[in-house]
Amino acid sequence: MSFQNILFPVDFSERSSAAVPFVLSMAQRYRARVVAIHVFQPPPPIYAGMNTIYPAAYDFEGVSSDLKIELRRFVEAQLPKVEVACEVEIGDPAVAITQYACTQGMSLLTIPTHGYGLFRRVLLGSVTAKVLHDATVPVWTAAHAPEASHRAHPKPRHILCAIDLKPESRRTLEMAIQIAGDAEAKLELVHVPADGVSSDNAERRIQELLVGAASHQLVNLQEENAPGTELASEGGTVAEMVRKLALQKRADLVVIGRGSIQSGIGRLHAHSYDIIRESPCPVLSV
């Protein structure tokens, strides 16, 4: 997959600005076109009487025009030397973002999360959660940007790919291998074995997936930068173990799978929101 069209939802918050270096890096690396989109959700109607609604008319055209000017200023200041289109939509933000990504052929969606204060690890943000649930394209997000402790780099140098060994793990691995190759980054794999699954069986399945994915990406597994593999079985939740390894490996990016409609929810996929909340670096879910 080539990231030729990147959708970047902008709400003019500190977190939108914090995501800019990653959008800019991806756009320049893949010579991609960026679409900056702002979705305005109108206030609910106020009923002034039995048969009347206040306000009687809402200046949607005027609001859209003003927001597009503000969005253009944001883009010109934050995303220089990159082809950027600006779009303003009116409606439910999550619905508008996912529909635009689907209908306009976007290949990547970059959206920061919105948890606040002490609850940042509890709240993922309703818009981001809906987008992650409904989007059919890869989604990049970062729960803790721009916190001082956030461990990240616009061009990832160390990528951690967490897989659950379900059939769709092949696609997750292929994506991780491609991104690592394009960024010249070190790639390592992590798997949290399910209860009752032996380490030997897990390792054998990982190697099978890795060989197939590497073959598809034309990667030589004998190279010095061939992916390392680690089975995390020290206890704790999946998210806690992925976070611990991401910190130990000083990962700049975690790649996970979101599953498919046909496959249902697997061990890793059931914890994908937790992984995103807990990760000390950005997460790309595919």
Please give the CATH architecture assigned to the domain spanning 5-141: 3-Layer(aba) Sandwich (3.40)
How would you write the pLDDT of the chain (286 residues) with one tens digit per residue?
A: 679 999 999 988 888 888 898 999 999 999 999 999 999 987 766 655 556 555 556 677 888 899 999 999 999 999 988 999 999 999 999 999 999 999 999 999 998 775 444 444 444 567 888 888 888 899 998 876 655 444 456 789 999 998 887 777 888 888 888 898 888 898 888 877 665 555 666 677 777 777 666 666 655 555 544 555 555 555 678 888 889 889 998 999 999 987 654 443 434 456 788 888 888 889 999 8
Q: Report the half-sphere exposure of 10 (CA within 13 A, side-chain side).
A: 27
Amino acid at 104: Q
Range(s) within the chain of domains with CATH label 3.40.50.620: 5-141, 158-285
**Rounded CA separation 239/138 (Å):** 20
Tokens of residue 245, six digits: 């390894």
Phi and psi dihedrals of 264, rounded to 5? 75, -160
- Point out which residues pair with 245 in neighbouring strands: none
CB 255 within 8 A of CB 248: no
CATH number, domain 158-285, options 3.40.50.1370, 3.30.530.20, 3.40.50.300, 3.40.50.620: 3.40.50.620
Give Cα separations from 152 to 67, 92, 117, 179 (angstroms).
Answer: 30, 30, 20, 15
